[in-house]
Structure 1
């Protein structure tokens, strides 16, 4: 049992009963009296856990009851070494997924405290950071201030006044929106919102924001079933409600990878006798699906519907003409 786990055990024992004797701690922790004395001193003097020897109870007892029924607000005290390693790994992943530094100011202090606790125990946190490689592709820069205002509005359920750049039209529009979800999708941030200008639900790219202002007016709430129907019922992030189902057939070679992929929660897949793989996915608008089909090259064929098959064929023809 490492030192951090012992801290957790001691704290749990102190909170579970009126007092804890030295013998009870020694038997539970299986350490020497000298080690236990050092642990108790560290917890009291460095971690600030309010406990002391109670002569009337003949044991160690809390001198202050926690405001929370379960724990004191002492971040990290109840983490084991393995749990700290897991949290540090997640923090390292977040920092590498966010090279623009959106979350770094908030993550770094927490990460430093965890590293300090781990260093006081049995090991170092440096190895995890050095061994994790995450390579984002196509990540677009986001203004940190906009991201934070968006998150604030989302949590506090407030409307936003935004100026938004439309890449398709090449114009900037001003609109009031009620944010519903914040989404990290394919290495970029988006948010789902009710657009009061268009009077409907839309997905917006955070990097396409040109200004963001928090309003005092409460956000318009949309029920969860409607949000799922619009944002989760079809393939991709910008597709809206499901209207059709695409049937795709992958070669035996490509099936080795695609058979283990989730293209949509409601997909239907079949491994065919010749080793090829058939996938059925619901979709609304088809442009994002077409892009992913083309990424598979000659290892995929659109079986249905005919309109999707024709669009993919026409796209391939235009590509051939260009080359």
Structure 2
């Protein structure tokens, strides 16, 4: 029997989320040939989870009831007859777009057109204690990570990996200047990965306390965007050699931050658009990139192949993903949504599901 959350409607997470206990799950004998039964030990949330629960979200409609979430870590309990990559006892994490992988292979990158079939929206997701997933919805977890940090990798960290290493000629490396925005999950993951690659990272934030935490994680400089609300892009740019601007900027705010990102990017630099968590603002036309002689790249997350690369890199570099200061139990997932929605978190909002305090 499993415990789980469902979205029973699409009226916002407060009204739509429902908690269920003693839910029957299929036995190993009932698995389809490509399916894997997973005991879930930890999960985490993304802004997409809030958007999916909201009828105004850009992700589009759902067919309730559906189990939300696309990030988790757990152990394989049983596998279907044709599963080749996993066996019982394997530690695994989820990849959010299994239908895309089944259709186009491990290197396929998701677009907005694919979101209707992704975990937590078009297929049952991860906010449950036991789940059945397609083989292509899983990859092996890093050997070096405990359950909670491992559960943050699926969407957020694969997005950060794709941002930094997704274009061969623009891979993060020593000598490259990278700008990250704020202290949300993608920004912190990008900071940790870019610092591990030897890049010089500058981070924006709103408080002195957060500035100290960002510097401790590897940021060489920080810029307070509240103190410089209309000029933090230029302020950040002034920190780069000869004020030339940044080689790579990870934009998480969308229209609210894009104008500042364009002000900070160097000629032939890249602005990677990975989200729209900022407040409503006037749209920034794509033509604005022409005025700054830069490239703009939009991504949703990483491919399954990139997620595997990320896992190897984390084990190789000994990176420990930073997680939020608060930890929620599965039954308290609505409170976890609230913390994310209110932007009170640092890095990733995490949910302990069914596992001991120390790694099994």
* TM-score, normalised with respect to structure 1: 0.29
* TM-score, normalised with respect to structure 2: 0.27
Higher relative contact order structure (alpha carbons within 8 Å, sequence separation ≥ 6): 2
